[in-house]
Amino acid sequence: MTDLSAAAPSSSPHHRGGASLIAPDARTQARNAAERRFRRFGLSAVLLGLVALVVLLASVLGNGVSAFRQTYVILPVTLEASVLDKAGNRNPDEMKKVTTLGYGKLMQEALIAALAERGIDTGDLKPKEIMALLSKEAPADLRDAVLADPSLIGQSIAFPAFATSRVDGYFKGRVTMDSAARDANISPAQLQLADAMRAAGLIETRLNPGFLTRPDASELRPEAAGLGVAILGSAYMMLVVLVLSLPIGVAASIYLEELAPKNRWTDLIEINIANLAAVPSIVFGILALALFINIAGLPQSAPIVGGLVLTLMTLPTIIIATRASLKAVPPSIRDAALGVGASRMQTIFHHVLPLAMPGILTGTILGLARALGESAPLLLIGMVAFVRDFPAAPPAGFFDPASALPVQVYSWTQRADPAFAERASGAIIVLLVFLLSMNALAILLRRRFERRW
């Protein structure tokens, strides 16, 4: 030892020995500086992420929250039996003969009467232009309300009718007098009338539950568009995905992890599953179009097809997560079970699977969350179609046309009317709320099932 240290360069031990413990030497300073640098990089990366998140949330919330509120014209209308139920027997089948045109006329008269009663000056606006403050959907809504409850006939009610999207936009700040002057759909005079009606209590802005429950509406009536069909379609698809992908994925993982011989073939399968997880989702869409619609002949736009394609997409995620959590179960548990004479199946189902359950559930829910937000493959199977009819109750409803939340966002952003941009942001909020609650559920389940060994 002594010989060795003597042979070493004399400066080094001398330097070390003589160095103060308080003043760091150059090497230590360099190392500390490197650590500080790395910390700063990490911190700035985190901050950058946070800023991006805040900007995203602020923009979505800023644009979208207003979609949950809607401007209504509170229309005092007397539902004349002589107009709406000429036969007088309150039979909805016969009442259906009165079309929305009839209701529109009734509403127009009621609106002009209400304005006159309140002494609101309509200037030189024609009755048709006054009526244009109401949504084109309003007569249909009133008709639906009357057909659903014929006893309303003969009564005077205050019917909350959607205001047209331009009026709605005016009170939300999207439409101004300047833009109205250049707009063929609305004039500044109409907006002045709207102001007066609002002052008189004929117009108010309130929460719009219809945004979540109503079906999509046409290009010309964004105020009436809702997410009902999209939410239901997404829910049906998630049901299909869950029912198919969880058992198939878990069974495949158990087979691959616990039962299959480890050889070249299982290696190949493993690599392919990992690759499948990375396949662009639109490719799955093309596959589904060819397989499920063209060959199997399933209907287009149907949640069953969407569910099947999303199942294909989710399976690799679930299999990878499940295999990871099966791998994480300590082998000593398997030994213990086999050692007391449990069969392989008993070992897996009594001991390994319960311990792997939190991981499997987390993986499944995250896979589902990804599937919920997926739009590209759905475009290819026709789920981007305009669907106004609610799908029936399951199981028949799985084969009815439906929309999906992310696709609804996509199709709304495609439309010209800026009111749809607001609704698209609102739909994104709904989508985010669903995703967040699914992730929260994953965390909750994980906490609940987690057991230590």
Residue 356 · residue 322 · CB < 8 Å? yes
Using the minimum distance from each CB to other proteins, give the nearer residue, 7 or 453: 453
Q: How far is the CB of 348 from other proteins (least distance, A)?
A: 12
**What is the C-alpha to C-alpha distance for residues 338 and 239, in angstroms, rounded to an integer?**
36
Stretch that binds other proteins, among 52-60, 117-125, 342-350, 361-369 (CB under 8 A): 342-350
| Residue 330 sits in the site that holds other proteins (CB under 8 A) | yes
Q: How far is the CB of 342 from other proteins (least distance, A)?
A: 6
Question: Binder to other proteins among 225, 252, 337, 366 (CB under 8 A)?
Answer: 337
Q: How far is the CB of 325 from other proteins (least distance, A)?
A: 14
The two structure tokens encoding residue 102:
């009839």
Q: What pairs with residue 75 in β-bridges?
A: 159
Q: How far is the CB of 271 from other proteins (least distance, A)?
A: 19
Site for other proteins in 61-120 (CB under 8 A): none
| Residue 9 sits in the site that holds other proteins (CB under 8 A) | no
| Residue 351 sits in the site that holds other proteins (CB under 8 A) | yes
**What is the C-alpha to C-alpha distance for residues 97 and 150, in angstroms, rounded to an integer?**
14
Question: Binder to other proteins among 340, 396, 416, 447 (CB under 8 A)?
Answer: 340
Question: Binder to other proteins among 90, 172, 334, 388 (CB under 8 A)?
Answer: 334
Using the minimum distance from each CB to other proteins, give the nearer residue, 52 or 345: 345
**What is the C-alpha to C-alpha distance for residues 344 and 350, in angstroms, rounded to an integer?**
10
**What is the C-alpha to C-alpha distance for residues 184 and 326, in angstroms, rounded to an integer?**
64
For residue 207, how many other CB atoms are within 10 A of its CB? 9
Count residues contacting other proteins (CB under 8 A)? 22
Bond before 247 cis per omega within 30 degrees: no
Q: What three-state secondary structure class fits 163?
A: strand
For residue 200, how many other CB atoms are within 10 A of its CB? 15
Residue 207, φ and ψ in degrees, nearest 5: -60, 140
Question: Binder to other proteins among 79, 355, 371, 381 (CB under 8 A)?
Answer: 355
Stretch that binds other proteins, among 97-105, 165-173, 326-334, 372-380 (CB under 8 A): 326-334
Q: How many residues does the chain have?
A: 453
Residue 446 · residue 358 · CB < 8 Å? yes
**What is the C-alpha to C-alpha distance for residues 316 and 115, in angstroms, rounded to an integer?**
63
Residue 211 · residue 226 · CB < 8 Å? yes
| Distance linking the first and last C-alpha atoms of the chain | 48
Residue 438, φ and ψ in degrees, nearest 5: -65, -40
Using the minimum distance from each CB to other proteins, give the nearer residue, 214 or 351: 351
Write each residue from 286 to 325 as x if it is in contact with other proteins (CB under 8 A), else as -, in one continuous string: ----------------------------------------
Q: How far is the CB of 452 from other proteins (least distance, A)?
A: 7
Write each residue from 414 to 453 as x if it is in contact with other proteins (CB under 8 A), else as -, in one continuous string: -------------------------------------xxx
The two structure tokens encoding residue 170:
């005016």
**What is the C-alpha to C-alpha distance for residues 183 and 176, in angstroms, rounded to an integer?**
10
Site for other proteins in 250-279 (CB under 8 A): 261-262
Question: Binder to other proteins among 173, 341, 396, 416 (CB under 8 A)?
Answer: 341
Question: Binder to other proteins among 338, 429, 435, 445 (CB under 8 A)?
Answer: 338
Rg (C-alpha) for the chain, rounded Å, is 32
Using the minimum distance from each CB to other proteins, give the nearer residue, 18 or 453: 453
Stretch that binds other proteins, among 224-232, 279-287, 311-319, 330-338 (CB under 8 A): 330-338
**What is the C-alpha to C-alpha distance for residues 301 and 285, in angstroms, rounded to an integer?**
12
Binding site for other proteins (CB under 8 A): 261-262, 330, 332-343, 346, 350-351, 355, 451-453
